[in-house]
Amino acid sequence: MLLLGALLLLLALPSYGQDTMQGPPLPKGACTGWMAGIPGHPGHNGTTGRDGRDGTPGEKGEKGDPGLVGPKGDTGETGITGIEGPRGFPGVPGRKGEPGESAYVYRSAFSVGLESRVTVPNVPIRFTKIFYNQQNHYDGTTGKFLCNIPGLYYFSYHITVYLKDVKVSLYKNDKALLFTHDQFQNQNVDQASGSVLLYLEKGDQVWLQVYEGENHNGVYADNVHDSTFTGFLLYHNIE
């Protein structure tokens, strides 16, 4: 082994004459008589270097095409009511309307008085002194009011009482509905009165009548004292 190593060493070293006659001079610091070794294995990869600096921003690109319309969103909450705005200018007046049908006014009324104190008990009192009876719904020959317009009526009476007591009833179709009694005071003129609302159908009759005989027939009238009977329609009920 030693012999083999010495032989290889001799072969590697050039002679003095060859060093001075052939090849360029050796680089400074290089060992004389060196021999290249076998290439080694590649080394391991180094660690990743740091990121470089950001590049300069590029130019703004062209505007893209509009995207597809998305689905309709949910309705939002109602906002707060705003402040009322100023009042606007008056509008142009509209055209005049067509004349309407005139409303028919239903009338029924009377007001009558007693001309003398001659009355008969238990029959209708005949008031023959006419203050108002334009529709002729009161009959002075019978003393009865005849309903021609169904509806609500108001009736009143004012009786002067003299010489006797008075008992007077207001009748509707032979039925006494209202009673008035006044007791006569000696040598004094007294008054008795009454009033009522009645609903009447067409054909109903209303009148005044003394009841319970002659002793209660103190109904009186003269040129300065009146006994009156009045009635009128408040509203009709015609369909």
pLDDT at residue number 213: 79
- pLDDT by residue for the chain (239 residues), tens digit each? 666 666 666 665 554 444 444 455 555 555 555 566 787 777 777 788 787 788 888 888 888 888 888 888 888 888 888 888 898 888 889 888 887 665 778 999 999 999 887 678 889 999 999 999 999 999 999 999 999 999 999 999 999 888 888 899 999 999 999 999 888 888 788 889 999 999 999 999 999 999 887 877 778 888 888 999 999 999 999 76
> Whats the size of the chain, residue-wise?
239
CA distance 9 to 2: 11
- Which residues face 219 on adjacent strands? 161
The reported pLDDT for the residue numbered 101 is: 63
Q: What residues contact 12, with CB distance under 8 A and at least 6 apart?
A: 33, 35
Residue 125 β-bridge partners: none
CA angle 180–211–205, rounded 5-degree value: 80
Tokens (6 digits) for 60: 């703004």
- What's the pLDDT at 230? 97
- Domain segments of the chain: what residues? 109-236
What is the pTM (predicted TM-score) of this model?
A: 0.57
Return the structure tokens found at 117: 């104190």
Q: Say if residues 207 and 145 touch (Cβ distance below 8 Å).
A: yes
Predicted local confidence at residue 229, as pLDDT: 97
φ, ψ of residue 9 in degrees (nearest 5): -70, -40
How far apart (Å, rounded) are the C-alpha atoms in residues 180 and 225?
19
Burial class of residue 81, CB neighbours in 10 A (0-12, 13-18, 19+): exposed
Interatomic CA distance for residues 111 and 129, integer angstroms: 9
CB atoms within 10 A of CB 167: 22
| Phi, psi of 6, deg, nearest 5 | -70, -35
Site of tokens 């009146």: 226
CATH number of 109-236: 2.60.120.40
